[in-house]
Structure 1
Amino acid sequence: MTWHYSGSNASSAAGLNRLAEFLCDPRFNSADLVGFSHAREIKQLDDYLERKSNPFCEEYEWQQSTVKIRLSNERAKFPSENDTPQLEIPGVYHRSLTDIITQTFEDDVSTSFNMTPFRQYWNAPDNQTLEVFSESYASPEMIKAYEEVNAIPRDPGDDLEHVVASLMVWSDATHLASFGDASLWPFYLFFGNQSKYTRGKPTARACHHLAYIPNVCIHYFINSLY
């Protein structure tokens, strides 16, 4: 409590509870705090991410690529889009969609997935029958995709169930600190085969990290290219 009330006013009860959880963790060793330096630990984290043992390395199925995008300028004309200046953006970390799908459907969590889409109806008190639109796997688009997949000719001896993996991709900038401008731009992947009531629970761990997009200053690059 002394630590909580003697620090910044930004300290919250939730932050204090998290600190208590860390201190109670069996891996915590108070001897590690001797000579602790925030600046040194930050540098060690940066060095760790540069090594092959970091969580974005290939062993964890993360790949690093350089993305090339074309830039336009309202004051200049080009014969075609291929003739416009090209900006290379390095450091784009991403994972394979196929790998994520395979791992998820091989996991026990897939037993709660709905593999066969269907329609839902409600018999209203006024004797009307209304179609209910709620879950992704009960949508007309999912039913249409399911029918198209199962209409594809099968190889001889293929008696496996053919299903649709409904992918829902989201992206938004995420601030990493209460103060300052440190941020990331992650891409998240959810499966529409899973109920939205489960996807909405953080404890369900239904979110899959697909990619991390670095921030760039486009104005700076445009000026330097021209």
Structure 2
Amino acid sequence: MLAPPPSPPPVRPSGLPERKRQLPTPFRHHDPLPEAVPATTAAVTICNKFGLYCKYQHRPSYNPDSSVPFDDLANQHPHSDEQVEQQNVEETNNSSPPWPFNSMAVHQLMSWMNTGSSAKTYGELDRLANIISSPDFDANDLIGFSAKRESQRLDTAKSEDCSGAFINGFTKTSVDIEVPSGQKGVPLQKFTVQNLLYRDLLDTIKLAFSHPLSLKFHLSPFKLFHVSDEQAEPMRVYSELYNSDSFIKEHDKVQRADLPSEETECKRECVVAAMMFWSDATQLANFGDAKLWPIYLFFGNLLKYISAQPRSGACHHIAYISSVS
């Protein structure tokens, strides 16, 4: 008795055979996930599985690595191979608009999103659709519309209202600077920079240390070492500002310094607030030429991976510098 013929492979609506979908090889074989250095209140910690350990000059009273959320260490891909294999999308090449959408309007919106700039997101498209479908939206108002012209109109309105909400908490002042002439015997020329906006540094430090993010601040610096095996010589590792020699040296000075005469009975811990400043020109809107030169402040007490997260709240605006002609 002959075996029945095998069933034909499944095909898509276009007539092409169904494809098996799976993650590329680099995404199916994960590297070992990172691990925080073991927490301790002693002067030297034990090694973690990567051979890293810490050595403190002064015993820490608090270690933020005692409970590090997994999301602060790695971004794990949420899909398994089985999940990816189930994501078989029906494809066709011979259908005309508005396929596969319910209307031509939806088809045009989706076509606009999938062409041109790759920076468009689903959220932005939803916002655009809500605007178009609102009762007070009239397409006739867009006849002759120019994005550049309207952006310039917005920039002009913002520049005429310097007391807007975006400068609340800043103090306005003027600063005199001396600029070299570049010629021998010609004295320096003094310029006055108007409308310099700044925020008090001490107030910013107080704000940062009272924020919930301060629970992740490293207040006690340490030296970080790596050992590959028990016989190998430990190797010094530099990964953060709080395990650098400069930070450790300044922290030691603070611990040995005498207290002010009016606070000889103070029992509060003395720590170093490591301030890192950065500046660059920043556009004030998605369109137009209006820009400022903000000065930003980050605290070196914080893990750099947390500081790099856009929504972590680790960045503080310290000053805005106006353009000097």
Structure 1 length as normaliser, TM-score?
0.74
**Is the counterpart of residue 169 in structure 1 residue 277 in structure 2?**
yes
Correspondence for 1:117: 221
Query: Paired residues, what number?
Result: 207
Whether 2:238 is the aligned partner of 1:127: answer no
Q: Which runs of 5+ in 2 are unaligned?
A: 1-106
Matched, 1:209 2:317: yes
Cα displacement (A) at 1:156: 2.1
Q: Which amino acid aligns with 1:131?
A: R
Larger radius of gyration: 2
Measured at CA, do residues 162 and 75 of structure 1 come closer, stay the same or move farther in structure 2, by a change above 3 Å? closer
RMSD over aligned CA atoms reads 3.4
Letter in 2 for 1:163: V
Partner of 2:212: 108
Contact 1:171 1:188 in 2 (8 A): yes
Match of 2:302 in 1: 194
Aligned mates of 2:291, 2:116 — CA distance in 1:
19
Shift of 1:4: 6.4
Question: In 2, Cα distance between the equivalents of 1:31 and 1:209?
Answer: 39
Counterpart residue number, 2:258: 153
Deviations 1:42-69 (A, max 9, x none): 656755662644220xxx3211222211
1:51-66 maps to which residues of 2 (within 5 A)?
A: 52-56=163-167, 60-66=168-174
Q: Which amino acid aligns with 1:140?
A: D
Residue 84 of structure 2 is aligned to residue 84 of structure 1: no
2:151 and 2:287 in contact (8 A); partners too = no
Query: In 1, Cα distance between the equivalents of 2:108 and 2:181?
Result: 58
Identity %: 30
- How far residue 17 of structure 1 moved from its aligned partner, in angstroms, is 2.7
TM-score (normalised: structure 2): 0.54
Q: Which residue of 1 aligns with 2:177?
A: 69
Richer in strand (by share) = 1
Conservation of the 8 A alpha-carbon contact between 1:167 and 1:190: yes
Highest RCO, 1 vs 2 (Cα 8 Å, sep ≥ 6): 2
Q: Deviations over 1:145-187 (max 9, x none)?
A: 1111122212321000001001111112234567765443221
Larger mean CA deviation between 138-147 and 165-174 belongs to 165-174
Amino acid at match of 2:268: L
Separation in structure 2 between the aligned mates of residue 44 and residue 153 of structure 1, nearest angstrom: 55
